[in-house]
Amino acid sequence: MGSENYIVGLDIGTTKVCAIVGRSAGHSVEIVAYGVSPCSGLRKGVVVDMDVTVESIKKAVEEAEASSGLSIKAAYVGIAGSHIKCFDSYGATGIKGKEVTKGDLAKVIDSASSVYVPLDRDVLHILPSDFIIDGQDGIVQPVGMSGVRLEAKVNIVTASHSVVENLLKCCERAGVRAIDVVLEPVATSRAVLNDDELDSGVALVDIGGGTTDIAVYKHGRLRDTSIIAIGGSHLTNDIAIGLRLSQKEAERVKKTYGCALADSVGAAEEMDVAGINGEEKKIPRRYIAEIVGPRCEELFGLIRSELKDHLLYCAVLTGGTSLLTGIDRLAEAALGLPVRTGTPQRGSLSAGTVYESLRSPVYSTCVGLMLYGLDSEYESCIHEDVMDRVSRWFKNWRMPRIKQPFKQSIRVLTDKI
Ligand SMILES: Nc1ncnc2c1ncn2[C@@H]1O[C@H](COP(=O)(O)OP(=O)(O)OP(=O)(O)O)[C@@H](O)[C@H]1O
Ligand SMILES: [Mg+2]
Nearest residue CA, atom 21 of ligand 1? 13
How far the first Cα of the chain sits from its last, in Å, is 28
Q: Is residue 24 part of a domain?
A: no
How many A from CA of 209 to the centre of ligand 1?
4
Q: Is residue 367 part of a domain?
A: no
Q: Quick one: 209 and 321 in the same domain?
A: yes
How many A from CA of 317 to the centre of ligand 2?
12
- With a 6 A CB cut-off, is 180 part of the ligand 1 pocket? no
**Tell me, what CATH number does 151's domain have?**
3.30.1490.110
- The distance from CA 221 to its chain's CA centroid, rounded to whole angstroms, is 15
CA distance readout (Å), 125 to 63, 113, 182, 184 = 30, 10, 8, 12
Q: Quick one: 205 and 337 in the same domain?
A: yes
Residue 375: its pLDDT value, please?
A: 81
Q: Quick one: 148 and 227 in the same domain?
A: no
* Residue 403 pLDDT > 50: no
CB 78 within 8 A of CB 184: yes
Q: Are strands 202-207 and 314-318 parallel, antiparallel or unpaired?
A: parallel
Q: Is residue 62 part of a domain?
A: no
How many A from CA of 245 to the centre of ligand 2?
25
Residue 377: its pLDDT value, please?
A: 59
Collect all residues with Cβ–Cβ distance below 8 Å to 238 and sequence separation of at least 6: 291, 292, 295
* Residue 221, strand partner residues: 218
Q: How confident is the model at residue 376 (pLDDT cuts 50, 70, 90)?
A: confident
Q: How many CA atoms lie within 13 A of 304 on its CB side?
A: 14
Ligand 1 atom with the smallest distance to the CA of 80 is 27
Q: Output the average pLDDT for the chain.
A: 87
Q: Is residue 249 part of a domain?
A: yes
Q: Quick one: 298 and 228 in the same domain?
A: yes
Residue 291: its pLDDT value, please?
A: 96
Q: Which domain holds residue 141?
A: 85-158
- The distance from CA 328 to its chain's CA centroid, rounded to whole angstroms, is 19
Q: How confident is the model at residue 262 (pLDDT cuts 50, 70, 90)?
A: confident
Q: Which has the higher per-residue pLDDT, 237 or 2?
A: 237
Tell me the angle at which helices 232-243 and 286-307 cross, rounded to the nearest 10 degrees: 150
* Residue 106 pLDDT > 70: yes
Q: Could you give phi then psi for residue 63, rounded to 5 degrees?
A: -65, -45
**Tell me, what CATH number does 281's domain have?**
3.30.420.40
Give how many domains the chain has, as a whole number.
Answer: 2
pTM, 2 dp: 0.87
54-80: buried (b, 16+ CB within 10 Å) or exposed (e) per residue?
A: bbbbbbbbbbbbeebebebbbbbbbbb
Looking at the chain, the number of H-run helices and the number of E-run strands are: 12, 18
Q: Is residue 274 part of a domain?
A: yes
Which amino acid, residue 294? P
Residue 386: its pLDDT value, please?
A: 39
- The distance from CA 164 to its chain's CA centroid, rounded to whole angstroms, is 15
Q: Quick one: 213 and 130 in the same domain?
A: no
- With a 6 A CB cut-off, is 364 part of the ligand 1 pocket? no
Q: Among 322, 343, 364, which residue terminates a domain?
A: 343
- With a 6 A CB cut-off, is 389 part of the ligand 1 pocket? no
Ligand 1 atom with the smallest distance to the CA of 319 is 18
Q: How confident is the model at residue 4 (pLDDT cuts 50, 70, 90)?
A: low
How many A from CA of 281 to the centre of ligand 2?
33
Cα–Cα distance for residue pair 330/264, rounded to 1 Å:
11
Q: How confident is the model at residue 401 (pLDDT cuts 50, 70, 90)?
A: very low
- With a 6 A CB cut-off, is 324 part of the ligand 1 pocket? yes
What does the angle CA 367 – CA 154 – CA 185 come to, to the nearest 5 degrees?
20
Q: Is residue 96 part of a domain?
A: yes
Task: Give per-residue pLDDT as tens, 297-336.
Answer: 999 999 999 999 999 999 999 999 999 999 999 999 999 9
- With a 6 A CB cut-off, is 36 part of the ligand 1 pocket? no
Element (H, E) at 16: strand 16-25
Q: How many CB atoms lie within 10 A of CB 26?
A: 7
Collect all residues with Cβ–Cβ distance below 8 Å to 26 and sequence separation of at least 6: none
> Of 260, 272, 398, whose CA–CA distance to 331 is shortest?
260
* Residue 414 pLDDT > 70: no
* Residue 24, strand partner residues: 29
Residue 322: its pLDDT value, please?
A: 98
Q: Among 343, 369, 398, which residue terminates a domain?
A: 343
Q: Among 135, 158, 181, which residue terminates a domain?
A: 158
Q: Is residue 187 part of a domain?
A: no
How many A from CA of 328 to the centre of ligand 1?
15
Average pLDDT estimate for 32-40 = 95
Q: Quick one: 246 and 315 in the same domain?
A: yes
Ligand 1 atom with the smallest distance to the CA of 251 is 31
Sheet with 212-218: list strands edge to edge.
221-228, 212-218, 202-207, 314-318, 339-341
